[in-house]
Amino acid sequence: METRYTDTVTAEKLRPPAVVRWAAIIAIIQSAIGLGFAIILIVREATGQTDPNLVYESAHANRWVGYGTAVFFIIIFGAVAAGAVMMFTARRWGRGPVIMLELFLLVAAVYMFNAQQYSLALTTATSALLGLGLLFNPRAISWAAQHY
């Protein structure tokens, strides 16, 4: 009977606080959107669609821009998604990439606002600020200090 109690106590010590888990969920949703955009870019490139707003120095560059951007998004958002899952499951790695994504999304929201895309800017900034607020919550900081 005592081993069950100690197993429960150990599991509770390892389980991150709710604020950390919610921050991980937000980062997973943000990463899923980024990875979805990467899939859209790959499909567009595969079907021969181009963006007339892009200007290329080389005639051959236009067929690689979408693929290159997609690979970049897969690497970045894939790493953040992996980090968010690790953070959600109380593993050591993950908090740093999630915080970096939130900071980058704040900068992206500023550019969206300057482009007069107010609803996208507000949604992006709100999710990034919420994620940062959750990760810098005193309970999250205390957990990270004890866990790492």
User: For position 7, what pLDDT does the model report?
Assistant: 47
Per the listing, tokens 């669609």 go with 49
Domain ranges of the chain: 18-147
Which stretches in the chain have pLDDT values below 50? 7, 9
User: For position 36, what pLDDT does the model report?
Assistant: 96
User: For position 61, what pLDDT does the model report?
Assistant: 67
Neighbours of 56 (CB within 10 A): 12
pTM above 0.95, yes or no: no
Helical packing angle, 65-88 and 18-46, nearest 10°: 160
Tell me the C-alpha distance between 84 and 27, whole Å.
6
User: For position 100, what pLDDT does the model report?
Assistant: 96
Read off the pLDDT of residues 77-118 as tens digits, 9 standing for 90 and up. Answer: 999 999 999 999 998 789 999 999 999 999 999 999 999 999
- Which helix (H) or strand (E) segment is 60 a member of? none
Tell me the C-alpha distance between 129 and 132, whole Å.
5
User: For position 19, what pLDDT does the model report?
Assistant: 95
The one-character DSSP state at 58 is: S
Tell me the C-alpha distance between 5 and 3, whole Å.
5
